[in-house]
Amino acid sequence: MSAAAAAAARRILTRLTGVMASRLHAQAKLDQVVEIIGECLSSEVCSIYLLRDGMLELFATRGLNQSAVHVTRMGVGEGLVGAIAKKIETLNLAEAKAHPDFQYRPETGEEKFHSFAGVPIIHRERAVGVLCVQHVEPRRYEDVEIEALQTTAMVLSELIANAELIDEEDARALTPEQTGPQTLSGLTLVKGLGAGHAVYHQPRVEITQVMAEDTEAERQRVYRAFDKMREQIDALASQAEFGVGGEHEEVLETYKMFAYDEGWSRRINEAIDSGLTAEAAIERVQQHTRMRMREIDDPLLADRMHDLEDLSNRLLRIVAGQVGTAASQGLRRDTILIARNLGPAELLEYDKRRLKGVILEEGSLTAHVVIVARAMNVPVLGRVKNVRTTIREGDEILLDASAGQAIIRPLPQVAEAFHARFAKSREKQAAYASLRDVEPFTRCGTRIQVMMNAGLRDDMAMLAMTGADGVGLFRTEFQFLVSATLPQRERQTRLYRDVLDAAGDKPVIFRTVDIGGDKSVPYLASEIAAQDENPAMGWRALRLALEREGLMKVQARALLEAAAGRALHVMFPMVSEPWEFDAAKAVFDEQLAFLRRQKKLLPERIHFGAMLEVPALAEVLDLLLPKLSFLSIGTNDLTQFLFAADRANPKLAERYDWLSVAILRFLRRVVEASRGSGVEIGVCGEMGGRRLEALALLGIGYRRLSITPTAVGPIKEMVRKIDLAELSAAMAGWLADPATNLRRELAAWAEAREIEYD
């Protein structure tokens, strides 16, 4: 940041204070504001657009043709100015014409200007105007200059409200788009259905005063608010709903790290020093963080930034004396919670019986809040655009998070159909629950092992609920993913012990850490990034663990100690050659010898297994199998390598079918090669949790599946309707003489036998 830009920002605020305190009428103040900004930022153009009759009207300008004032008007969403208002976001462009939303307005004479930066003027959560600057030379405005614009927009918002420059009705102006039925799409973060009414998580803090009268007093207010917020976070950490210990504790620790972050409080104090009130300073730093967040590509880092935003909102409410979120304000019984994003601690404050679903504007699969929501069994739809402009407090919402959709203000027929489907799905769930204690035997009497996949302490509750035969894949890296730092050995031991306690007599197969690929952790990210252009095929999983031997040793010790006196199942991911299995097992053997020397209680039995995810391993099964107790096929990775198709690339998501002859023949070869070896063989990828795919797997000889917990009931139900001899014969026929569409053949086969398959 250049000193000149910082000085300019300070100058703007000082001069704005003078203008705002003056007795000028509102239009004259606007005229002065554009002059001040233009001068201080050395911008040829500065303009203010305000909402009038649903259109953004040019109210004041320096640099554009004056004849365009009160003449140039554009719709919300139209051109760059309209886009800023519609999306409520900042734009900072070196070359405005290159932006897809750019529209040229000849009456303004703006053709000679290249660079463009604009910020929304926000009042009651809606954009009521836009403040922008333009420059002849292409340049990107500096951070501090954008901050100065944001501050000015806050000041303008206050001026606009006081001078009644915009019509309140106008600010609320509702288009048919905002009153009629709407379907919003998003990303499925936690599957499920929910129906209820919209409740905004944050009744917004209205910033009524931007300029401080007494800077020292503002500093004190923020200081006290920080203290209070830290107290609250510490209290939350000790009384988290899900008990002490575990992922939630780790999540809250990350949270705590931010609450005590000196950099954050320093930036707020700097904003106060520049003349803002405590509220405005917090808001401005938050706006800036938001803008940065949008620029960040790393989803994991972005999630951490969301935690910071969560805290910032909390701080703002404390300082403004508005302590409650919707959680503390008599929550309605059928709440569909709406938020830009939520912090995990914030979600934990809600009464989960009243929470029927969550819709987030942001969010990602690995966000902390999603982990918590899954544990609470609340469906979550994320990455939903235009939430604020579409959903109003109290709107009826039908949330189908599984399908990635939310229907707002549904028509009665639509609501009726949804509720019928909802009731059916509840009935189904109940029917699956009744299968809990039923063992999955096929019609011909073969016992199929239906295990579940897990990764968090809270997932273990599903073991009893579904009656799964055990945990066929415990993804230990989840603990690493939700931690801000590498989890220490004691932490790991505690988790593994709790998981084994929760499982009782049922086996749990712990997979050693599979970090890397799409599962990067911040504290190893730079190392991974430095090495890999193609992380899925790069330095990940066992490859990484064998080289970072300390990591593996610590985990081995933690697992061995946690399983003292009982059976331990350990599985290594991404084994590509048998020696890697040997090397990984040697780390465990060494730790075992150490514990033996220490006269520690050892596991009663240890079973070692490998994942088959790399196709090459299938060619050396004769060398590998004698070393193993079990082999588990990770079809998620295996199929991406078989088809050379990145599993995380949405463009390829539907291109290759699991029910393809190539995959099924490959998998059949593996199961046949293992026959007679005494090694248990199963599938633990997502494929096994889908009914048609599971049918195919059973048809080619698999007898053990480890699947997502919610699929256990449906798969058990299906197993009981199958005759394996008949199914195997059909599969053998299809694979020998492939039908053009195996999926269709299988579906018809299932339908003819009244087997539900989707």
User: Hey, which residues does 632 pair with through a beta bridge?
Assistant: 611, 682
Cα 724 from Cα 359, distance rounded (Å) = 43
744-751's contacts with Cβ under 8 Å and 24+ in sequence apart are 746/659, 746/692, 746/695, 746/696, 747/692, 749/695, 750/691, 750/692, 750/695
Cα 519 from Cα 540, distance rounded (Å) = 9
User: Hey, which residues does 115 pair with through a beta bridge?
Assistant: 135
Cα 722 from Cα 449, distance rounded (Å) = 14
Q: Tell which one of 283, 303, 637, 717 touches Mg ion (CB under 5 A).
A: 637
Instruction: Specify the residue, 205 or 300, whose C-beta has the smaller distance to ligand PEP.
Output: 300
String marking each residue 454-483 x if it binds ligand PEP according to CB under 6 A: -------------------x-x--------
Q: In this structure, are residues 578 and 624 in contact, taking their beta carbons and an 8 Å threshold?
A: yes
* Contact call for residue 520 and ligand PEP (CB under 6 A): no
Region class of 349: left (phi > 0), else alpha (psi between -120 and 50), else beta: alpha
* Contact call for residue 635 and ligand PEP (CB under 6 A): yes
User: Hey, which residues does 609 pair with through a beta bridge?
Assistant: 571, 630
Region class of 606: left (phi > 0), else alpha (psi between -120 and 50), else beta: beta
Instruction: Specify the residue, 275 or 573, whose C-beta has the smaller distance to ligand PEP.
Output: 573
Instruction: Specify the residue, 193 or 705, whose C-beta has the smaller distance to ligand PEP.
Output: 705
Instruction: Specify the residue, 275 or 609, whose C-beta has the smaller distance to ligand PEP.
Output: 609
Backbone angles phi, psi at 249, to 5 degrees: -65, -40
Q: In this structure, are residues 279 and 319 in contact, taking their beta carbons and an 8 Å threshold?
A: yes
Q: In this structure, are residues 134 and 43 in contact, taking their beta carbons and an 8 Å threshold?
A: yes
Tell me, by CB under 6 A, how many residues bind ligand PEP.
10
Q: Which of Mg ion, ligand PEP, none lies near 685, with the C-beta cut-off 5 to 8 A by kind? A: ligand PEP
Instruction: Specify the residue, 283 or 637, whose C-beta has the smaller distance to Mg ion.
Output: 637
**Least distance (Å) between residue 559 CB and Mg ion:** 19
Q: Which of ligand PEP, Mg ion, none lies near 440, with the C-beta cut-off 5 to 8 A by kind? A: none
Q: Which of Mg ion, ligand PEP, none lies near 635, with the C-beta cut-off 5 to 8 A by kind? A: ligand PEP
Task: Provide the 8-state DSSP code for 608.
Answer: E
Tell me, by CB under 5 A, how many residues bind Mg ion.
3
The token pair at 724 is: 């394996």
**Least distance (Å) between residue 637 CB and Mg ion:** 4
Instruction: Specify the residue, 188 or 635, whose C-beta has the smaller distance to ligand PEP.
Output: 635
* Contact call for residue 684 and ligand PEP (CB under 6 A): yes
Q: Tell which one of 178, 446, 636, 677 touches ligand PEP (CB under 6 A).
A: 636
User: Hey, which residues does 294 pair with through a beta bridge?
Assistant: none
Radius of gyration, CA atoms only, the chain: 30
**Least distance (Å) between residue 636 CB and ligand PEP:** 3
Q: In this structure, are residues 609 and 632 in contact, taking their beta carbons and an 8 Å threshold?
A: yes
Which residues between 167 and 206 bind ligand PEP (CB under 6 A)?
none
Cα 635 from Cα 614, distance rounded (Å) = 10
Q: Tell which one of 38, 343, 634, 709 touches Mg ion (CB under 5 A).
A: 634
Instruction: Specify the residue, 542 or 624, whose C-beta has the smaller distance to ligand PEP.
Output: 542
Q: In this structure, are residues 611 and 571 in contact, taking their beta carbons and an 8 Å threshold?
A: yes
Pick the piece of the chain touching ligand PEP (CB under 6 A) from 130-138, 160-168, 530-538, 632-640: 632-640
Q: Which of Mg ion, ligand PEP, none lies near 347, with the C-beta cut-off 5 to 8 A by kind? A: none
**Least distance (Å) between residue 636 CB and Mg ion:** 5
**Least distance (Å) between residue 513 CB and Mg ion:** 12
Task: Provide the 8-state DSSP code for 600.
Answer: P
Backbone angles phi, psi at 735, to 5 degrees: -75, -25
Cα 668 from Cα 701, distance rounded (Å) = 7
Which residues between 572 and 631 bind Mg ion (CB under 5 A)?
613
Instruction: Specify the residue, 637 or 693, whose C-beta has the smaller distance to Mg ion.
Output: 637
**Least distance (Å) between residue 640 CB and ligand PEP:** 8
**Least distance (Å) between residue 673 CB and Mg ion:** 20
What single letter denotes the amino acid at residue 289? T
Query: Would you say how long the chain is, in residues?
Result: 758
Instruction: Specify the residue, 119 or 633, whose C-beta has the smaller distance to ligand PEP.
Output: 633
The token pair at 148 is: 């100065």
C-alpha distances (whole Å) from 237 to each of 232, 249, 253 are 9, 6, 8
**Least distance (Å) between residue 671 CB and ligand PEP:** 16
Q: Which of Mg ion, ligand PEP, none lies near 714, with the C-beta cut-off 5 to 8 A by kind? A: none
C-alpha distances (whole Å) from 138 to each of 134, 221, 233, 427, 638 are 9, 41, 45, 62, 48
Pick the piece of the chain touching ligand PEP (CB under 6 A) from 153-161, 585-593, 629-637, 719-727: 629-637
Which residues between 607 and 626 bind ligand PEP (CB under 6 A)?
613
Task: Provide the 8-state DSSP code for 248.
Answer: H
> How many angstroms separate the first and last alpha carbons of the chain?
56
Pick the piece of the chain touching ligand PEP (CB under 6 A) from 6-14, 162-170, 270-278, 633-641: 633-641
Q: Tell which one of 247, 249, 637, 717 touches ligand PEP (CB under 6 A).
A: 637
Pick the piece of the chain touching ligand PEP (CB under 6 A) from 341-349, 552-560, 599-607, 631-639: 631-639
Q: Which of ligand PEP, Mg ion, none lies near 310, with the C-beta cut-off 5 to 8 A by kind? A: none
**Least distance (Å) between residue 541 CB and ligand PEP:** 8
Say if strands 605-612 and 567-572 run parallel, antiparallel, or are unpaired: parallel
Helices H / strands E in the chain, number of each: 29, 22
Cα 222 from Cα 269, distance rounded (Å) = 8
**Least distance (Å) between residue 511 CB and Mg ion:** 9
**Least distance (Å) between residue 470 CB and ligand PEP:** 15
The token pair at 247 is: 């992922």
Q: Tell which one of 514, 561, 580, 717 touches ligand PEP (CB under 6 A).
A: 514
Q: Which of ligand PEP, Mg ion, none lies near 684, with the C-beta cut-off 5 to 8 A by kind? A: ligand PEP
Question: Count of CB atoms within 10 A of residue 93's CB?
Answer: 21
Instruction: Specify the residue, 663 or 684, whose C-beta has the smaller distance to ligand PEP.
Output: 684
Contact set with ligand PEP (CB under 6 A): 473, 475, 514, 613, 634-637, 684-685
Contact set with Mg ion (CB under 5 A): 613, 634, 637
